[in-house]
Amino acid sequence: MQEDFIHYLWKFKKLNGLDLKTTAGQSVVIKSLGTHNHHSGPDFFNCRVEIAGQAWAGNVEMHLRASDWYRHGHDDDPAYDNVILHVVWKHDAEITRRSEIDIPVLEVAKYVSDELIISYTSLFAHKNNQFINCEKSIANIDTFLRDMWLEKVFIQRLEKRYDRIMSSLDVNNNDWEATFFQMLMRSFGTKVNADAFEQIATSMNQSVLRKLAHDAFQLESVLMGQSGLLDTIHEDRYFQNLKKEYAFAKAKYQLDPILTKLKFFRLRPANYPTVRLSQLAMLYQRNPLLFAEILMADSREKIMKLFQIKAANYWDERHLFDKITEKREKYLTSEFIDLLIINCVVPVRFAYAKYQGKQNIEELLLLMRGIKMEKNTITNQFHKLIGLKNALESQAVLELKPNYCDKNACLNCDIGIHLMRSPS
């Protein structure tokens, strides 16, 4: 049994209309459920109840055991002074506010049907090698309900990214171009070098980027130099020219390279930092006002066109300095551009619109539905269960798995709630 189950009983009115009584025998009538609080403090704010015919307005706190009130330190916390009712599964202790006044206790175990308990225990019945609690039932959920829930979870994911983008924007003194560049660099670094690439971006003033963007070689030299890739020794003329160009820019713009070492191990050559940084330089040389153009691009095809660039010609036969490989132009692939749209373009456009007090969620949902699902361990497993159709759904399950499934937060999930109502 989890505390979430008691939240469920309260939130979905499973206790309403019953002949409820406190542990002291006083009648309880729920007039208003209040607002579910997902942060610190009492579980439900601004509730209204009648206890022994007396109307009360305030907060409601819930625990599995009444004694949890003391174990969690609520008896010494002013945030709980306005608790009017303590709802528990088992009453094992009398509890008081800081003023030492008793708080009425509603013990709910006696009011819950066996059928509901069976539904709950069935939902949380773990089996060996089980991916998610509802893996045997999720495929039977109504498609419309499932799609609407995945859309809602995807928007939750965007809201989290909004918070992170706003933090970066604050550090950047409301410079959206700098914030976008940092997000884009992070995406170019992929999972392995995301932090290091973001550090490269933050190590450069945006005015420096604007000045260097007219010359791809100059910008490439600074990106490589700031990353530490030019700290080694090579006889290669291109390397020597990059190093010379960086030394000049470093002194001119008073640049300090990052300390984090870039990683190559287990990366596909196409994702080597050398290639990605050169592509970034070419991208900004061709689109110096990239952020503004991203905001105006109203389709996946237009965004794709903006990112149709290749690394410098030098990299056609290389992935590393001094090492010749089979000649192949290093264009950004459509698959990689899709990842840039998912991880950078969509979150930034969402954040920018919200920052301006505008609403663009429908166009972003449409954009995400036009991109193929991402493939990784989590998305592949969900695809086997429900057949993911696009990137919106793959992003949703990447949010769903760690924040709902892994935490057994099934009673905060629309799918779990539906299964509680209609057990399979």
Spell out the long-range contacts of 121-129 with Cβ–Cβ below 8 A and sequence spacing 24 or more: 122/423, 123/410, 123/416, 123/419, 123/420, 123/423, 124/2, 124/408, 124/410
Question: Do 197 and 280 fall into the same domain?
Answer: yes
Question: Could you report the per-residue pLDDT of 242-300, keeping only the tens digit for each?
Answer: 999 999 999 999 999 999 999 999 899 999 999 999 999 999 999 999 999 999 998 99
| Helix locations, 99-215, DSSP H | 114-123, 143-171, 176-188, 190-202, 206-212
pLDDT value, residue 128: 65
Question: Do 211 and 319 fall into the same domain?
Answer: yes
DSSP letters along 332-359, please? PPHHHHHHHIIIIIHHHHHHHHHHTT--
Question: Do 317 and 189 fall into the same domain?
Answer: yes
Question: Do 208 and 327 fall into the same domain?
Answer: yes
Cross-strand pairs, 50: 29, 55
CB 209 within 8 A of CB 284: yes
* Number of H-type helices and E-type strands within the chain: 18, 9
Question: Could you report the per-residue pLDDT of 238-247, keeping only the tens digit for each?
Answer: 999 999 999 9
Question: Do 271 and 185 fall into the same domain?
Answer: yes
CA dihedral 370, 375, 381, 384 (to 10 degrees): 50
Mean pLDDT of 340-366: 97
The distance of Cα 250 from the centroid of its chain, to the nearest Å, equals 36
pLDDT value, residue 129: 77
Residue 78 belongs to domain spanning = 3-112
Question: Do 203 and 323 fall into the same domain?
Answer: yes
Question: Could you report the per-residue pLDDT of 98-152, keeping only the tens digit for each?
Answer: 888 889 999 999 999 888 888 888 777 766 678 999 998 999 999 999 999 999 9
Tally of domains within the chain: 2
pLDDT value, residue 96: 86
Question: Could you report the per-residue pLDDT of 11-50, keeping only the tens digit for each?
Answer: 989 999 899 999 999 999 999 999 999 888 999 999 999 9
Mean pLDDT of 193-219: 96
Q: Is residue 121 part of a domain?
A: no
Domain boundary among the residues 81, 112, 143 is at 112
Q: Considering the entire predicted model, what is its pTM?
A: 0.85
